[in-house]
Amino acid sequence: MRQGGIIIDALLGLFGLAGFVYGILAIILAKRSNKSLKLPGLILALSFALFLTGLAISPKDNLASGTDISIAEPGAKSAPEAVPGNAPIPGSFPSSYTERDNAPASEPAATLAPESTPIPGSIESQTPGLVFSPEDPKELRVTFIDVGQADSILIQTPQGKNILMDAGNTADYSVIKACLDAAGVRRLDVVVATHPHEDHIGSMASVIKAYDIGKIYMPKAATTTKTFENLLMAIKEKGLKASEAKGGITIETGDSLITAEILAPNSSDYDDMNDWSAVIKLSYGKTSFLFTGDAEDVSEKEMLSKKYDLKADVLKIGHHGSSSSTTAEFLSAVSPKYAVISVGKDNDYGHPAAGVMNRLKKAGIPVYRTDESGTIVCVSDGETIRFNVSPGSYTSGRQSGTSGTSITPTPSPTPGASSKQTPTPVPTPTPSPDTSGDRIVYWTPGGKSYHYTKDCSTLSRSKTILSGKPSECPKSDPCDICAR
């Protein structure tokens, strides 16, 4: 009650003002009618004092309970708060209030302001955690996107550049896009197509069409698949020009804190398309990564003989863990602290191979695999490396049906052939390596056979030629001309 607050103060001032005006009028009237000036004078004086009081009282002031205001004339009776005191008059205010009487008329407004307007800016500037401070440690972030039996790796550099290495299968675009969106990626400063197999360039045309693209690196290898043609078309339509990926070249990332060297391919001809794979060593501070695409033993041998510094903390195991890659010599030259395998669950190729898994297990290298963990994120601060998931198992993939050759598109994945981790070293049951892991087969909607080449003479008059992995092919009869 006592601290009637600013509202009461304002009312006091208002009533005082009203009384003041009334008093002046009363004096004028009294003068005209020759009445006594005593009463109007008193009213005038009182209301003037009241007005000043209203102006001068600040909210923190303790108005003596008796402050009487009630007497103060007509207007005052509508001020209920003030009524109870009912104490008679003046004398009381002067001493305590006069010193404030000189306050300029604008003071009430000024004293109100701090209460209602809470210092602009201060609140926002105190809100923590919404914006990353520039002092955040600079990190290199590598995301092995789970695209099943395929590869797609997003690299976000300490200085904010984005590199996409491979783009999964054609059906993986939505997964890749979701991952790029989640990472806030709008521009890909560098795109690398390690080699033109479907499971590495499948969604690359879509990526190139949808994103702002800096540079594209790809080896000088070509195929006649529709996917590859689409990729070339997308590059052309975007007005871009692919740079050749080959051993000895350094990728221009635009990030001065990292280096990205291409260590393969090192020849101008390979029997196997996988050996065309661009192999990239990425270094940041004391940490390094080796991304091998699908490079196989032939390319590994070349890298060894070229005397490249292959040592790396993280090795992206070649060719989805196929036995044709990650030879003992290569693994020991890299001597990684961690291995990552991008591989599809229950794939038809038996990836990862038991031999490779045994080698990793023997060397005590933790293995992170997309078939067990999904998308894997690995972060380096330049000193140490950490993963978002725990290491996976050393269990090898199931060989489907004909082990080794693996091309026969048998619709049934033949269970039971599960080759669980065997403690005995490197069994290698079949001498033939499954180099055909990325084999693409062709067929026509009406035909009964599948083909190994789109250029097969039996397809020369077919308008619609479909392509895909053996597992996706509905035909079970190998073509007599190209698939035997």
The CB-side HSE value for 277 (13 A sphere, CA atoms) comes to: 33
Q: How far apart are the first and last CA of the chain?
A: 102
Question: Binder to Zn ion among 255, 294, 296, 371 (CB under 5 A)?
Answer: 294
Joined tokens for residue 451: 């083909």
Question: Binder to Zn ion among 197, 215, 398, 475 (CB under 5 A)?
Answer: 197
- Considering only the stretches 244-252, 271-279, 386-394, 464-472, report the one whose residues sit in contact with Zn ion under the rule CB under 5 A: 271-279
Q: CB of residue 336 vs Zn ion: minimum separation in angstroms?
A: 19
Is 146 or 199 the residue whose CB approaches Zn ion more closely?
199
Q: CB of residue 123 vs Zn ion: minimum separation in angstroms?
A: 54
Is there a contact between 273 and 223 (Cβ–Cβ < 8 Å)?
yes
CA distance 166 to 218: 10
To the nearest 10 degrees (0 to 180), the angle between helices 5-32 and 38-56 is: 160
189 touches Zn ion (CB under 5 A): no
Is 161 or 351 the residue whose CB approaches Zn ion more closely?
351
Is 44 or 176 the residue whose CB approaches Zn ion more closely?
176
CA distance 221 to 367: 31
- Considering only the stretches 154-162, 217-225, 244-252, 268-276, report the one whose residues sit in contact with Zn ion under the rule CB under 5 A: 268-276
Sketch the per residue contact string, 409 through 448, with Zn ion: x for CB under 5 A, - otherwise: -----------------------------x----------
Q: CB of residue 339 vs Zn ion: minimum separation in angstroms?
A: 16
Q: How many residues in the shown chain lie near Zn ion by CB under 5 A?
A: 5
CA distance 12 to 54: 5
199 touches Zn ion (CB under 5 A): yes
- Considering only the stretches 81-89, 287-295, 337-345, 393-401, report the one whose residues sit in contact with Zn ion under the rule CB under 5 A: 287-295
342 touches Zn ion (CB under 5 A): no
The burial of 186, by beta-carbon neighbours within 10 Å (0-12 exposed, 13-18 middle, 19 or more buried), is given as exposed
CA distance 484 to 480: 6
Is 199 or 300 the residue whose CB approaches Zn ion more closely?
199
Is there a contact between 226 and 196 (Cβ–Cβ < 8 Å)?
no
Q: CB of residue 342 vs Zn ion: minimum separation in angstroms?
A: 8
Q: CB of residue 191 vs Zn ion: minimum separation in angstroms?
A: 17
Q: Decide: helix, strand or coil at residue 168.
A: coil
For the chain, the maximum distance between any two Cα atoms, rounded to a whole number of angstroms, is 134
Q: In one letter, which amino acid is 449?
A: S
Contact residues for Zn ion, defined by CB under 5 A = 197, 199, 274, 294, 438
